[in-house]
Amino acid sequence: MTPFPDRAQVVVIGAGIVGNSVVHHLARLGWRDILLLDKGPLPDPGGSTGHASNFVFPVDHSREITLLTGDSMRQYSELGMLTTCGGIEVARTPERVQELHRRMSSARAWGIDAELITPAEVAQDVPCLDPTVLLAGFRTPSVAVVDPLRAGELMRQRATEAGALTVAALTEVLGIDTEDDRVRRVRTDRGDVDTEYVVVACGVWSPRIARLAGATIPLTPAVHQMIDVGPIAELAATGREIAFPIIRDMDPLMYERQSGADLEIGSYAHRPILYEPDEIPSAAAAALSPTQLPFTPDDFDPQMEAALDLFAGVLDRPDAGIRHAINGLLSLTPDGHPLLGETPEVRGLWSAAAVWIKEGPGVGRLIAEWMTAGAPEIDPHAADIARFAPHERTRSHVRARASEGFNKTYGIVHPREQWGSDRGARRSPFYERERALGAEFFEVAGWERPQWYGANSPLVAELGVEGRPHEWDARWWSPIINAEHLAMRRGVAMIDLSAFSQFDVSGPGALAYLQHLTVAQMDRPVGRVIYTPVLGPDGGFRSDLTVVRLGENRFRVVTGGSDGARDLAWFARHRPGDGSVALADVTSAVCTLGLWGPRARDVLAAVTDDDVSDAAFPFATARELTIGSTPVLALRLSYVGELGWELHAAPESGLRLWDTLVEAGAPHGLVPAGIGVYGTTARIEKGYRLMGHELDAEHGPVEAGLALSGLKSQDFVGKAAYTKAREGEPEATLCTLRLDDARDTAGLRRYPQGGEPLLTPDGRRVVDRRGRPSYVTSAGAAPSLGTHLLMAYLPPGYAAEGTGLVVEYLGERYPVTVARAGRTPLFDPDDSRMRG
């Protein structure tokens, strides 16, 4: 056996495709003394890599996942471990046909060759299938199968040849020691290893290993059933592991692929069968491997019937038997995304978990870049392990969402679709009032937020709001949103914003600390409200948020609910270690109501003795007010483009604040409005950008139109890149496009939802010089403008007002016009309403 080291620069735990890929890329980026551990033997230590079905479909609706998959395919190919066989997703139902059109749009958006084909064409590619049960197919020629075990061996070999890697199989991790919440040591049954970095790439065992260090990796092992049926003469005759395209039979949530002489059938349709990480058998206790558990045939029978429908010609033969059947374990997370990055709890403890075979090498590269440079090339926004609120890391939440999400693996998931399980984790003090008003609650970070209020439905007719004729466009949507919007613009609305994440930064080092993390000048007078981008080291967006200077050395940071946990981790990670800065999460200590509209001042003046005139309380300032007897921190700013305030109060006073405003607002036409207005309609009319949509690590403030007029002298994260970007012409500019009266072939008015590709009128993709495609980052109604708006980054030449393009939405193309290049709002361009 290789000698076991007592120290390492980094210890990578888990020698599946992810761990092997991480060590390979770390070695490539110059790391040395890398130790790769696995409890199991090599080359197949017994994790999910060893039994995966190993096929790669490159098209995903998520750009992040598509990029990771694409990078992985390049790496597999470069290792000689990729066999292109093509793949077809087939539809048996009209709804699935529509979804295939959506897939087609995503393929076009991300630049992946694909086409929609007829059942007869499907049968031409895969002759042993019965096309009569099908309606359509979505063919991607680049679909491939890979050999992740062999790829992993080659990656280890390269790192070993670079003199960077020691591999220790059959080595069990017994503990991970931390000091001051930082990794110090890994204890194993072969000795202790001093190290400052640990990468947990243990797949289904990751939660167990992370727990040794006091961190959580919120995933659950779950069963994915698969069987091999054969021998099938037509398949055997090819003499190859795979010669026919892989079929994803999407409606019954299953797939069929050739595997030598066999047809392998896998399913995501059976009941969710979850395991506890501690219950996974050891290699000794398992008949096949720890992650290949005994097949439970009763769960699979419906899939057999579905497979028989499609492949009766080859499956219904006396000599084609079920030769292999397993309950394979894979990792499921609460939101279906991977768990990547440094854990928020322990410095130096990195997670590379919940990764499919198709993303493995890409994730290895991403983690290695992130560890080396502080930021990876591919934005890990949706996969960042820091994204979870505390309750989302609990066992019961993970199990509830994993159970619900399992059947969505091949499901048709609407972009606005809400989770059904484990709801109501966080409720603002206004919740009961909102419920009484018929609120339709959407969830963010566990918070229940009204998206719209049923009680406002009379406004729809009163304000003449149109519905959406197509069910898909109208799903998880209501015309009430547009009515609430118009009511706000006409009078005044109040909006529950308690889901905001808020943290207080204080201490003698507070100012310098914030200066370092933000683009805007923080050294402003006490009482100023400062909007600022927060950048990563490469100048791309990390966040955008509002900072309120509450005192000389006291600031409050207010950021969006969905990114709050990520932002808190970012702030915590950059806190100086000398104790000069205190950082406190005050999210749960504050509830927030927004009060906006032309009549907002009338309402506020009615409930406070404080002077709220523009002179006394100008835009972009904050003041303590008393509303009735409730002390409130009021911020005069707006994300909806109206005069008004965010009112921050103690949660226990929230109900009284609500009631006071409702009473005082009645004569002024106050309506409650939902996040549909705040997050979409009012925002998009004002051209405001949203983190995770317009704002991402791929784009900086210059391209997003959010560059500030001055450049502060203080250094800050991302300054060099930001400075450079300011000096040149942007490669792309965020634009707002108008979609006027788009009607489909059935004559129905249609409303794209976001994510769609933008094409030239003759159907070509629009891509900037850095290879970034133009696609719809946000889409929404603009009721005050009487249109539907889209936002998208466009390269020079296209980013000019009046440019005509088309958007492809569910198989049809609609003309759009660039209405604005840059940040100037289409609605109230000089912001006179909110400054009034």
Residues with catalytic function: 224, 255, 544
Among 180, 316, 727, 762, binds another protein (CB under 8 A): 316
Contact between 37 and another protein by CB under 8 A: the answer reads no
Beta bridge partners of 523: none
CA distance 664 to 658: 10
Q: How far is the CB of 309 from another protein (least distance, A)?
A: 11
Q: How far is the CB of 360 from another protein (least distance, A)?
A: 19
Q: Where are the alpha helices (DSSP H) in 86-212?
A: 94-110, 119-125, 148-161, 206-212
Q: How far is the CB of 321 from another protein (least distance, A)?
A: 2
Among 297, 464, 579, 829, binds another protein (CB under 8 A): 297
Contacting range for another protein; rule: CB under 8 A; set: 218-226, 283-291, 647-655, 775-783: 283-291
Among 11, 24, 44, 269, binds another protein (CB under 8 A): 44
In terms of DSSP bridges, do strands 144-146 and 82-84 run parallel, antiparallel, or are they unpaired? antiparallel
Q: What number of CA atoms fall less than 13 Å from residue 704's CA on the CB side?
A: 29
Q: How far is the CB of 134 from another protein (least distance, A)?
A: 19
Q: How far is the CB of 276 from another protein (least distance, A)?
A: 12
> Judged by CB, which is closer to another protein: 21, or 733?
21
Rounded-to-5 percentages of helix, strand, coil across the chain:
30, 30, 40
Residue 614: φ, ψ to 5°: -60, -35
Q: Which residues of 436-451 are buried (b: 16+ CB within 10 A; e: fewer)?
A: ebebbbbbbbbbbbbb
Site residues for another protein, 251-270, by CB under 8 A, read 259-262
> Judged by CB, which is closer to another protein: 235, or 535?
235
CA distance 592 to 587: 10
Q: How far is the CB of 252 from another protein (least distance, A)?
A: 14
Among 3, 287, 525, 764, binds another protein (CB under 8 A): 287
Contacting range for another protein; rule: CB under 8 A; set: 238-246, 608-616, 714-722, 770-778: 238-246
Among 29, 304, 572, 650, binds another protein (CB under 8 A): 304
Site string for another protein, 112-151 (x = CB under 8 A): --------------------------------------x-
> Judged by CB, which is closer to another protein: 222, or 385?
222
Site string for another protein, 215-234 (x = CB under 8 A): --------------x-x---
> Judged by CB, which is closer to another protein: 145, or 339?
145
Among 16, 50, 252, 701, binds another protein (CB under 8 A): 50
Q: How far is the CB of 304 from another protein (least distance, A)?
A: 5
Burial grade of 282 (CB within 10 A; 0-12, 13-18, 19 or more): exposed
Contact between 249 and another protein by CB under 8 A: the answer reads no
> Judged by CB, which is closer to another protein: 239, or 786?
239
Rg of the chain over all Cα atoms, to the nearest angstrom: 28
In terms of DSSP bridges, do strands 220-230 and 262-267 run parallel, antiparallel, or are they unpaired? antiparallel
Contact between 43 and another protein by CB under 8 A: the answer reads yes
> Judged by CB, which is closer to another protein: 50, or 348?
50
Residue 817: φ, ψ to 5°: -130, 135
Q: Checking phi first, is residue 35 left (phi over 0); if not, alpha (psi -120 to 50) or beta?
A: beta
- Helix (H) / strand (E) element for 661: namely helix 654-665
Nearest C-alpha neighbor of 173 from the set 284, 23, 357, 35: 35
Structure tokens that stand for 358 in this block = 């198709």
> Judged by CB, which is closer to another protein: 149, or 790?
149
Distances (CA, A) of 216 to 36, 193, 201, 289, 349: 21, 22, 13, 25, 10
Contact between 41 and another protein by CB under 8 A: the answer reads yes
Contact between 320 and another protein by CB under 8 A: the answer reads yes
Q: Which residues of 776-805 are buried (b: 16+ CB within 10 A; e: fewer)?
A: bbbbbbbbbeebbbbbbbbbeebbeeebeb
Strand, coil or helix: 374: coil
Strand, coil or helix: 630: strand
Residues at the interface with another protein (CB under 8 A): 1, 41-44, 50, 150, 153, 167, 169-170, 229, 231, 236, 238-241, 259-262, 281, 283-289, 293-295, 297-298, 301, 304-305, 307-308, 315-324
